[in-house]
Every structure is written in structure tokens, then in C-alpha cells.
């Protein structure tokens, strides 16, 4: 297989695990226990297909452009596609296809579970790294946003906007990111410079956490 980077590329994604399905002899890559990619091995344990999921219209278009992209082998051919591992599909295009497959499977989970798999809160924080995590604060995802700094009995304004109002998993796709709510809920113990650094770190964490399930196009 010429895509030698594939295993490392997939395993660096958040909450990804892999196993070998012995009956099929497939190396499966999963998020939350759901497969989003697989390397299909022959009897000599050599790859003969890379399976991944795409939006049906993207899959149909790409199959018309590349002879090495085929309807999914032993899969739902409407959504799944098979790529020849020694074919001519450009590396960057394959990365984008794998990104979309991961994003599509991640999006199939409830929004709270998506945040758990990403290991992030709606605003890109990591609760387990907070000095207040555990006591007095159960964490954003666990408490429904009713964290230690929120108004008594109410969720954090950022959580309320993202989850309760906009029905999003995180703030990642909001055009206003970072919005005024982010600035109004700042930690008063931080200096202006430290707050700006923290804000940018959280924005980057959200944007880097998962590529969107955007359309992929032939090069």
C-alpha cells in the first residue's frame, strides 16, 4: 500500500481505536465503537481496499472521476466507498475523504456524546484540566452546563446559547466564534494577555478537533 501515512493519520484523531475483525480480515478504525474506515486485507494480509463513508453525492462524483474509487466492498454502496491502496487517488484527496468519513460517523452520535468523544466542552475547554473539576464542579458535559461559575441553578451562558438555543454540539461552526458571550464569561483571575491566549487556545482546540463533513472534490 502506498498510503503509508494512513494508520498514523487516523489514530491521531480524537477517540479513535482500531481492531482486527478476524472473520473479514479487516483492520477497522472506529470512533465511539462505530467504524468510519477500514483496511481490507487478503489472505496474505496485504491491503486490497480502503473502505470509508462519504456523502452519497460526493461518493458518486468521485467514483466518476477516479477508476480507483469503487462502490463500497461488502458495504452499503450508497454511502460507502472502496479505494484501491496502490491506485492513483491523490494523498490529499484521500485525507479529505477520511476526514469526512470520521466527521459523518461522529455526527451520528447525540451531541453530548460527540463532546465526550472529542474530550471538549462547548467552548473548547478540557474540564479534567480545571482545578475545580470534581469538586465543586462536575464538569460542563456532566452537569448540563451548570458549572461552578454559572448563575445558580442555570447553565453557563455559552452552553445555553450553543446547546439549548442553537442545538449545536460545540461552538466550532458558529460564525461569531469567539462571540461576546465568551468574553463576558472570562476568568477574572486571568490577565488580559492570559485571557486572550486562553481564548485563542480554545478556539483552536475546537477548530482542530474534527474537520467538518464538507464536500470533497477531485483535484
pLDDT at residue 211, as a whole number:
58
Is the per-residue pLDDT at 212 higher than 60? no
3-state secondary structure of 199: helix
The sign of the dihedral angle between the CA atoms of 4, 100, 56, 75 is positive
Question: Tens digit of pLDDT for each residue in 51-92?
Answer: 999 999 999 999 999 999 999 988 888 899 999 999 999 999
Predicted pLDDT at 11: 96
Tell me the pTM. Answer: 0.84
Instruction: Please give the mean pLDDT across all residues of the chain.
Output: 90
Q: DSSP 3-state assignment of 135?
A: coil
Is the model's pLDDT at 35 over the cut of 90? yes
Q: What is the pLDDT of residue 215?
A: 52
The reported pLDDT for the residue numbered 213 is 47
What pLDDT band is residue 216 in, cutting at 50, 70 and 90?
low
Q: Which residue has the higher pLDDT, 135 or 205?
A: 205
Q: What is the pLDDT of residues 91-131, one digit of tens each?
A: 999 999 999 999 999 999 999 999 999 988 899 888 888 87
> Who contacts 137 (Cβ-Cβ below 8 Å, separation ≥6)?
127, 130, 143, 147, 148
pLDDT at 133 over 90: no
Question: Domains, the chain, ranges and CATH?
Answer: 6-107 (3.90.1150.30), 114-209 (no CATH)
Instruction: Report the pLDDT value the prediction gives residue 107, as an integer from 0 to 100.
Output: 93
d(CA 206, CA 64): 34
Q: What percentage of the chain has pLDDT greater than the value 70?
A: 95
**Cα angle: 156, vertex 161, 166; to 5 degrees:** 150
Residue 22 has pLDDT above 80, yes or no: yes
User: HSE-up of 196 (CA within 13 Å, CB side)?
Assistant: 3
35 and 101 Cβ atoms separated by less than 8 Å: no
Residue 217 scores a pLDDT above 90: no
Look-up of cell digits 452499503: 76
Is residue 218 predicted with pLDDT exceeding 80? Answer: no
pLDDT at position 105, please?
96
Amino acid at each position: 500500500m502506498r498510503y503509508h501515512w494512513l494508520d498514523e493519520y487516523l489514530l491521531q484523531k480524537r477517540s479513535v481505536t482500531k481492531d482486527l475483525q478476524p472473520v473479514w480480515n479487516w483492520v477497522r478504525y472506529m470512533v465511539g465503537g462505530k467504524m468510519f474506515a477500514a483496511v481490507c486485507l487478503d489472505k496474505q494480509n496485504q491491503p486490497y481496499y480502503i473502505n470509508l463513508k462519504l456523502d452519497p453525492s460526493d461518493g458518486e462524483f468521485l467514483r466518476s472521476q477516479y477508476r480507483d474509487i469503487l462502490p463500497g466492498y461488502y458495504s452499503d454502496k450508497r454511502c460507502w466507498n472502496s479505494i484501491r491502496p496502490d491506485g492513483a487517488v491523490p494523498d490529499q484527496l484521500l485525507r479529505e475523504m477520511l476526514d469526512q468519513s470520521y466527521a459523518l460517523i461522529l455526527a451520528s452520535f447525540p451531541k453530548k456524546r460527540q463532546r465526550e468523544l472529542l474530550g471538549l466542552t462547548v467552548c473548547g475547554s478540557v474540564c479534567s484540566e480545571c482545578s475545580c473539576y470534581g469538586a465543586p464542579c462536575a464538569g460542563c458535559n456532566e452537569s448540563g452546563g451548570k458549572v461552578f461559575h454559572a448563575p445558580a441553578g442555570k447553565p453557563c451562558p455559552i452552553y445555553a446559547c450553543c446547546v439549548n438555543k442553537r442545538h449545536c454540539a460545540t461552538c466550532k461552526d458558529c460564525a461569531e466564534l469567539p462571540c461576546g458571550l465568551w468574553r463576558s464569561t472570562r476568568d477574572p483571575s486571568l490577565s488580559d494577555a492570559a485571557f486572550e491566549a486562553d481564548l485563542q487556545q480554545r478556539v483552536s482546540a475546537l477548530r482542530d478537533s474534527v474537520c467538518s463533513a464538507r464536500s470533497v472534490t477531485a483535484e
